[in-house]
Amino acid sequence: MSAPAAAAGTGEDHDYPIRTWVFEDAAGRFDIDLGDSNMRPVRFDELTVPPGLELDYGHDRGIPGLRGRVAALYGGDPGSVLVTQGAQQALHLVYTTLLTPGSQVVTFRPGWQQSWDVPSELGCRVELVGYRPDLTFDVEAAERVAGPDLRLIVVNSPCNPTGRHIAGADLRRLAALAARTGAYLLLDEEYALGLSASFAVGADRVVSVSSLSKVYGFPGLRVGWMYGPRALVDACARSKFLATISNSVLCEELACTVLDERERHLAAYRELTGQGLALVRGFAERNADAVRLVEPQGTPFAWLWLTTGERPLAMCRRALDLGVLLMPGETLGARDGFRICFAREPEAVAEGLRRVERVLRPPGGAGPGAAPGPEAPTGPPPPS
């Protein structure tokens, strides 16, 4: 069986919009958030607003001080940076700038829904590629489906939701595939801590996207960026201007202060993720008959295979009834597991996991270790 079971399929059983789950179904119904994939949000009163700040339009590409700080993360040129409304806008700008009806896009599933929904809405032919049984990126499958109209390859590493990095050899093969076909390689590197190692540095057809939302804990600032070839960045900047002109100068100035204290924020991230992951490991060990943990590689979340025969969405709905937000696999293009974020205060993670244990197994079912039902995966998940 390929992994995950729903990695490269299509159909309603895999698709449940994350927007519907978070902003409609779950809104106001939880007091413990283990669903969002970001570091515990930082409070505004922990930031210092620059005195005398003039709230003008700023700059359409981002204020120079912020572009310089972002470029320093890559060890590159500020001219290769475009500051955006979160990584989401950066990704969207790449799609709308590069793609035309009939273009081919290769992306990996499960993953971020935007990577297949937006190209599809633009009239593109989207090839959904899965992962190898060990959850490494199935580059061979990507190479097999690549055609003459290939325009974009999308890679999220570390991957949301599997928590795994793409191997260097696999990334080099995808970069070579992009170069050989005249396509671009889009790296969604939201969870990467060391952007100086990004393949986008010095590359002609590779663009990196990241933000302050996930690792730093500032999703409310809505500050993201792209780093890539100047011609592509210039084209995206023109499109951004027509849509939003610029970002909030207040948010961009605050983003400068965040990056000035980068090491302090990363230290807090490492401390919380270390404590939280230990709790999730214990949870998985206690419930080995119901879940199997995929060991994350530096992400604030982990993927857990659900082996009870129940759909993740159903289990997550019952967890929501107890005030805990999880992320069912159906929101990420899979139907055989769920994502849990542990970059929270240890007390919140521990209490959330206690509640999840109460609903982990389906009510009235055959009990732990039961064979999967007709709506479950067709075989057991691969080992982590």
Structural contact between residues 2 and 294, judged by C-beta atoms closer than 8 angstroms: no
pLDDT at 13 over 70: no
Q: How confident is the model at residue 147 (pLDDT cuts 50, 70, 90)?
A: very high
Please give the angle made by the CA atoms of 22, 26 and 27, to the nearest 5 degrees. 85
Please tell me which residue, 357 or 377, carries the higher pLDDT value.
357
- pLDDT beyond 70 at 272: yes
Rounded to the nearest integer, the mean pLDDT of the chain is: 91
pLDDT of residue 380: 33
At residue 363 the predicted structure's pLDDT band, cuts being 50, 70 and 90, is confident
Distance spanning both ends of the chain, measured CA to CA? 14
Proportion of the chain above pLDDT 70, given as a percent: 91
Q: Give me the mean pLDDT over the 119-144 stretch.
A: 96
pLDDT at 132: 94
Q: What is the mean pLDDT of residues 327-341?
A: 96
Q: Can you give the pLDDT at residue 365?
A: 61
Q: What pLDDT does residue 384 have?
A: 33
Rounded Cα distance between 141 and 155, Å, is: 14
Report the pLDDT value the prediction gives residue 14, as an integer from 0 to 100: 61
| Largest CA-CA distance found in the chain, in angstroms, rounded | 65
Q: Is the pLDDT of residue 11 over 70?
A: no
What per-residue confidence (pLDDT) applies to 184?
A: 98
- Residue 369 reports pLDDT greater than 60: no
pLDDT tier at 375, thresholds 50, 70, 90: very low
Q: Is 164:297 a contact under the CB 8 Å cutoff?
A: yes
- Nearest CA-CA partner of 349 in 271, 283, 268: 283
Q: What is the pLDDT of residues 202-255, one digit of tens each?
A: 999 999 999 999 999 999 999 999 999 999 999 999 999 999 999 999 999 999
CA–CA distance, 197 with 358 (Å, rounded to integer): 43
Asked if the model's pLDDT at residue 264 lies above 60, the reply is: yes
pLDDT for res 27 = 94
pLDDT number for residue 15: 78
pLDDT above 70 for 10: no
- The phi, psi pair for 150, rounded to 5°, reads -60, 125
- Quick one: pLDDT at residue 249? 96
Is the pLDDT at 3 greater than 50? The verdict is: no
For residue 196, give the H/E element and its range: none
Under a CB-based contact definition with an 8 Å cutoff, are residues 229 and 201 in contact? no
- 305 pLDDT higher than 50: yes
One DSSP character per residue, 246-287 reads S--HHHHHHHHHHHHTHHHHHHHHHHHHHHHHHHHHHHHHHT
* Paired strand residues for 83: 225
Q: What is the pLDDT of residue 4?
A: 38
What is the four-CA torsion angle of 136, 370, 328, 29, rounded to 10 degrees? Answer: -150
Report how far residue 283's alpha carbon sits from residue 338's, in angstroms, rounded to the nearest whole number. 14
Confidence of residue 73 (pLDDT cuts 50, 70, 90): very high
Over pLDDT 90: what percentage of the chain? 89
* Average pLDDT over every residue of 93-113: 97
CA distance 27 to 146: 40
Render 290-346 in DSSP notation, one character per residue.
TEEEE--SS-SEEEEEE-SSS-HHHHHHHHHHTTEE-EEGGGGT-SSEEEEE--S-H
